[in-house]
Amino acid sequence: MKNKKIKLAISGANGRMGKILIKEALKKNNIILSMMLVKEIKNNKKNIKEKIPTYTCLNDKNKNFDVMIDFSEKNNTMKNIKYCIKHKKNIVIGTTGFDENQEKFIKLSSKKICIVKSSNFSTGINLIYFFLEKIQKNLINEKITIKEEHHKNKKDSPSGTSIEFGKIINKKLGKKTSKKEILKNKNINFISTRFGNIIGNHTISFSNKNETLKIKHVAKNRSIFAIGAIQSAIWSYKRKSGLFSMKNIIKRK
Protein backbone atom coordinates (compact mmCIF):
# COMPACT_ATOMS: atom_id res chain seq x y z
CA MET A 1 0.00 0.00 0.00
CA LYS A 2 3.07 2.23 0.20
CA ASN A 3 2.60 3.90 -3.18
CA LYS A 4 -1.10 3.17 -3.53
CA LYS A 5 -3.54 6.06 -3.56
CA ILE A 6 -6.80 5.21 -1.85
CA LYS A 7 -9.97 6.19 -3.67
CA LEU A 8 -12.30 7.84 -1.18
CA ALA A 9 -16.05 8.48 -1.39
CA ILE A 10 -17.77 10.93 0.95
CA SER A 11 -21.46 10.56 1.77
CA GLY A 12 -23.14 13.68 3.09
CA ALA A 13 -20.68 15.86 1.19
CA ASN A 14 -22.86 18.98 1.38
CA GLY A 15 -23.21 18.80 5.17
CA ARG A 16 -21.15 20.52 7.87
CA MET A 17 -18.79 17.58 8.22
CA GLY A 18 -18.84 16.69 4.54
CA LYS A 19 -17.38 20.02 3.49
CA ILE A 20 -14.55 19.73 6.00
CA LEU A 21 -13.88 16.12 4.99
CA ILE A 22 -13.44 17.28 1.40
CA LYS A 23 -11.00 20.00 2.48
CA GLU A 24 -8.92 17.61 4.60
CA ALA A 25 -8.99 14.77 2.06
CA LEU A 26 -7.61 17.03 -0.65
CA LYS A 27 -4.54 17.70 1.53
CA LYS A 28 -3.58 14.01 1.58
CA ASN A 29 -1.07 12.76 -0.98
CA ASN A 30 -2.23 9.16 -0.55
CA ILE A 31 -5.93 9.97 -1.06
CA ILE A 32 -7.91 10.47 -4.27
CA LEU A 33 -11.34 11.97 -3.61
CA SER A 34 -13.11 9.98 -6.30
CA MET A 35 -16.80 10.51 -5.49
CA MET A 36 -19.25 12.59 -3.45
CA LEU A 37 -22.83 11.77 -2.44
CA VAL A 38 -25.29 14.58 -1.75
CA LYS A 39 -29.05 15.03 -1.30
CA GLU A 40 -29.29 17.18 -4.40
CA ILE A 41 -26.95 18.56 -7.05
CA LYS A 42 -27.44 22.22 -7.82
CA ASN A 43 -27.66 22.78 -11.60
CA ASN A 44 -26.85 19.04 -12.03
CA LYS A 45 -23.13 19.83 -12.32
CA LYS A 46 -20.01 18.24 -10.87
CA ASN A 47 -18.03 20.02 -8.20
CA ILE A 48 -16.68 22.80 -10.44
CA LYS A 49 -13.64 23.69 -8.36
CA GLU A 50 -12.18 20.22 -7.92
CA LYS A 51 -14.10 18.31 -10.66
CA ILE A 52 -15.17 15.61 -8.23
CA PRO A 53 -17.95 13.33 -9.57
CA THR A 54 -21.07 14.00 -7.50
CA TYR A 55 -24.22 11.87 -7.26
CA THR A 56 -27.51 11.82 -5.37
CA CYS A 57 -27.67 8.03 -5.12
CA LEU A 58 -25.54 4.93 -5.57
CA ASN A 59 -25.86 2.50 -8.47
CA ASP A 60 -23.76 -0.21 -10.08
CA LYS A 61 -21.99 2.33 -12.29
CA ASN A 62 -20.61 4.73 -9.66
CA LYS A 63 -18.62 2.35 -7.49
CA ASN A 64 -15.24 3.94 -8.21
CA PHE A 65 -13.97 4.03 -4.61
CA ASP A 66 -12.13 1.87 -2.10
CA VAL A 67 -13.52 3.26 1.16
CA MET A 68 -16.54 5.42 1.93
CA ILE A 69 -16.77 7.93 4.78
CA ASP A 70 -20.38 8.46 5.84
CA PHE A 71 -21.49 11.42 7.95
CA SER A 72 -25.04 11.56 6.65
CA GLU A 73 -28.25 10.26 8.24
CA LYS A 74 -28.91 6.87 9.82
CA ASN A 75 -31.37 5.52 7.22
CA ASN A 76 -29.11 6.66 4.41
CA THR A 77 -26.16 5.01 6.18
CA MET A 78 -28.05 1.70 6.18
CA LYS A 79 -28.42 1.94 2.38
CA ASN A 80 -24.73 2.76 2.00
CA ILE A 81 -23.71 -0.25 4.09
CA LYS A 82 -25.79 -2.57 1.91
CA TYR A 83 -24.19 -1.07 -1.19
CA CYS A 84 -20.69 -1.46 0.27
CA ILE A 85 -21.38 -5.11 1.09
CA LYS A 86 -22.62 -5.77 -2.44
CA HIS A 87 -19.51 -4.23 -4.00
CA LYS A 88 -17.02 -5.26 -1.28
CA LYS A 89 -16.13 -1.73 -0.18
CA ASN A 90 -15.18 -0.69 3.36
CA ILE A 91 -16.95 2.09 5.21
CA VAL A 92 -16.18 4.58 7.99
CA ILE A 93 -19.32 5.67 9.85
CA GLY A 94 -19.59 8.95 11.74
CA THR A 95 -23.39 9.01 11.71
CA THR A 96 -25.01 8.61 15.14
CA GLY A 97 -28.48 7.95 16.59
CA PHE A 98 -28.93 4.35 15.38
CA ASP A 99 -31.62 2.22 17.02
CA GLU A 100 -30.92 -1.29 18.37
CA ASN A 101 -31.93 -3.07 15.16
CA GLN A 102 -29.67 -0.83 13.10
CA GLU A 103 -26.78 -1.45 15.52
CA LYS A 104 -27.32 -5.21 15.11
CA PHE A 105 -27.34 -4.82 11.33
CA ILE A 106 -24.04 -2.92 11.44
CA LYS A 107 -22.48 -5.63 13.62
CA LEU A 108 -23.64 -8.40 11.26
CA SER A 109 -22.46 -6.42 8.23
CA SER A 110 -18.96 -6.16 9.71
CA LYS A 111 -18.56 -9.90 9.15
CA LYS A 112 -18.57 -9.18 5.42
CA ILE A 113 -16.71 -5.87 5.16
CA CYS A 114 -14.52 -3.71 7.38
CA ILE A 115 -16.52 -1.08 9.26
CA VAL A 116 -14.97 1.64 11.41
CA LYS A 117 -17.74 3.24 13.46
CA SER A 118 -17.24 5.93 16.09
CA SER A 119 -19.54 8.42 17.75
CA ASN A 120 -16.57 10.78 17.88
CA PHE A 121 -13.37 10.71 15.80
CA SER A 122 -11.38 13.22 17.85
CA THR A 123 -8.21 11.95 19.54
CA GLY A 124 -9.07 13.80 22.77
CA ILE A 125 -12.46 12.14 23.20
CA ASN A 126 -10.99 8.71 22.53
CA LEU A 127 -8.33 9.34 25.18
CA ILE A 128 -11.21 10.01 27.61
CA TYR A 129 -12.67 6.63 26.61
CA PHE A 130 -9.34 5.03 27.58
CA PHE A 131 -9.35 6.89 30.90
CA LEU A 132 -12.87 5.72 31.75
CA GLU A 133 -11.88 2.13 31.01
CA LYS A 134 -9.03 2.43 33.53
CA ILE A 135 -10.82 4.43 36.22
CA GLN A 136 -11.32 2.91 39.68
CA LYS A 137 -14.67 1.21 40.17
CA ASN A 138 -15.34 2.97 43.50
CA LEU A 139 -15.27 6.35 41.72
CA ILE A 140 -17.82 5.18 39.17
CA ASN A 141 -20.15 4.25 42.02
CA GLU A 142 -20.40 7.94 42.95
CA LYS A 143 -22.87 10.42 41.44
CA ILE A 144 -22.05 10.91 37.76
CA THR A 145 -23.16 13.74 35.47
CA ILE A 146 -22.55 13.63 31.73
CA LYS A 147 -23.22 17.02 30.19
CA GLU A 148 -23.00 17.79 26.49
CA GLU A 149 -23.63 20.88 24.38
CA HIS A 150 -24.10 20.89 20.60
CA HIS A 151 -25.42 23.08 17.80
CA LYS A 152 -29.16 23.57 17.44
CA ASN A 153 -29.47 21.21 14.43
CA LYS A 154 -28.07 18.10 16.12
CA LYS A 155 -30.87 15.53 16.22
CA ASP A 156 -29.81 12.79 18.64
CA SER A 157 -29.93 13.52 22.36
CA PRO A 158 -28.00 12.57 24.43
CA SER A 159 -25.14 12.63 21.94
CA GLY A 160 -23.53 9.45 20.69
CA THR A 161 -20.38 10.41 22.58
CA SER A 162 -22.31 10.75 25.86
CA ILE A 163 -23.92 7.35 25.30
CA GLU A 164 -20.46 5.88 24.68
CA PHE A 165 -19.29 7.34 28.01
CA GLY A 166 -22.30 5.68 29.66
CA LYS A 167 -21.61 2.40 27.87
CA ILE A 168 -18.07 2.25 29.26
CA ILE A 169 -19.31 3.08 32.77
CA ASN A 170 -22.07 0.45 32.64
CA LYS A 171 -19.62 -2.16 31.37
CA LYS A 172 -17.24 -1.31 34.22
CA LEU A 173 -20.09 -1.90 36.68
CA GLY A 174 -21.10 -5.19 35.06
CA LYS A 175 -24.36 -3.71 33.72
CA LYS A 176 -25.91 -4.12 30.28
CA THR A 177 -24.60 -1.69 27.68
CA SER A 178 -27.57 -1.06 25.39
CA LYS A 179 -28.70 2.57 25.10
CA LYS A 180 -31.90 1.73 26.95
CA GLU A 181 -30.02 0.24 29.90
CA ILE A 182 -27.51 3.10 29.96
CA LEU A 183 -30.30 5.67 30.25
CA LYS A 184 -31.90 3.59 33.03
CA ASN A 185 -28.77 3.82 35.21
CA LYS A 186 -29.90 6.10 38.05
CA ASN A 187 -26.29 6.88 39.00
CA ILE A 188 -25.82 8.74 35.71
CA ASN A 189 -27.49 12.09 35.02
CA PHE A 190 -27.46 13.07 31.34
CA ILE A 191 -27.80 16.76 30.46
CA SER A 192 -28.12 17.77 26.80
CA THR A 193 -28.19 21.32 25.45
CA ARG A 194 -28.80 22.40 21.86
CA PHE A 195 -28.21 25.98 20.78
CA GLY A 196 -26.22 28.19 18.43
CA ASN A 197 -23.31 26.74 16.46
CA ILE A 198 -21.55 24.83 19.23
CA ILE A 199 -19.40 22.11 17.67
CA GLY A 200 -19.34 19.85 20.73
CA ASN A 201 -18.57 20.23 24.44
CA HIS A 202 -18.57 17.23 26.80
CA THR A 203 -18.08 17.21 30.56
CA ILE A 204 -18.12 14.18 32.89
CA SER A 205 -18.37 14.86 36.62
CA PHE A 206 -17.82 12.34 39.42
CA SER A 207 -19.04 13.71 42.77
CA ASN A 208 -19.30 12.67 46.40
CA LYS A 209 -19.65 14.65 49.63
CA ASN A 210 -15.91 15.31 49.78
CA GLU A 211 -14.80 16.07 46.23
CA THR A 212 -15.68 16.40 42.56
CA LEU A 213 -13.61 15.23 39.59
CA LYS A 214 -14.40 16.74 36.18
CA ILE A 215 -13.18 15.71 32.74
CA LYS A 216 -13.95 18.19 29.96
CA HIS A 217 -13.43 18.19 26.22
CA VAL A 218 -14.12 21.19 23.97
CA ALA A 219 -14.09 20.78 20.20
CA LYS A 220 -12.79 24.06 18.72
CA ASN A 221 -13.28 23.07 15.09
CA ARG A 222 -14.67 20.15 13.10
CA SER A 223 -11.38 19.36 11.38
CA ILE A 224 -10.46 17.10 14.34
CA PHE A 225 -13.33 14.78 13.40
CA ALA A 226 -12.50 14.87 9.69
CA ILE A 227 -8.82 14.08 10.28
CA GLY A 228 -9.73 11.13 12.51
CA ALA A 229 -12.24 9.80 9.98
CA ILE A 230 -9.70 10.00 7.15
CA GLN A 231 -7.09 8.25 9.32
CA SER A 232 -9.68 5.54 9.88
CA ALA A 233 -10.37 5.21 6.15
CA ILE A 234 -6.64 4.78 5.42
CA TRP A 235 -6.33 2.27 8.29
CA SER A 236 -9.32 0.25 7.06
CA TYR A 237 -8.02 -0.06 3.50
CA LYS A 238 -7.32 -3.68 2.55
CA ARG A 239 -8.85 -5.02 5.78
CA LYS A 240 -11.41 -7.60 4.78
CA SER A 241 -13.88 -7.46 7.65
CA GLY A 242 -14.48 -6.55 11.29
CA LEU A 243 -16.12 -3.85 13.39
CA PHE A 244 -13.67 -1.27 14.73
CA SER A 245 -13.66 2.19 16.28
CA MET A 246 -11.32 5.16 16.47
CA LYS A 247 -9.86 3.55 19.60
CA ASN A 248 -8.41 0.77 17.42
CA ILE A 249 -6.70 3.31 15.19
CA ILE A 250 -5.17 5.19 18.15
CA LYS A 251 -3.85 1.95 19.69
CA ARG A 252 -1.98 1.12 16.50
CA LYS A 253 -0.29 4.50 16.02
For residues 173 and 140, the answer to whether their CB atoms sit within 8 Å is yes
Q: Is 154 part of the annotated catalytic residue set? A: yes
Task: Kindly give the residue spans of alpha helices, DSSP state H, lying in 173-222.
Answer: 179-184
Distances (CA, A) of 164 to 14, 146, 199, 252: 27, 11, 18, 21
**Residue 42 among the catalytic residues:** no
**Where does residue 48 fall: left (phi above 0), alpha (psi -120 to 50 degrees), or beta otherwise?**
alpha
Active-site pick, 150, 167, 179, 202: 150
Identify the active-site residue in 147, 154, 167, 202.
Answer: 154
Report the alpha-carbon distance of residue 91 to residue 77 in Å, rounded. Answer: 10
Beta bridge partners of 105: none
SS3 category, 206: strand
Query: For residues 75 and 137, what is the distance between their CA atoms, to the nearest angstrom?
Result: 37
Active site residues: 150, 154
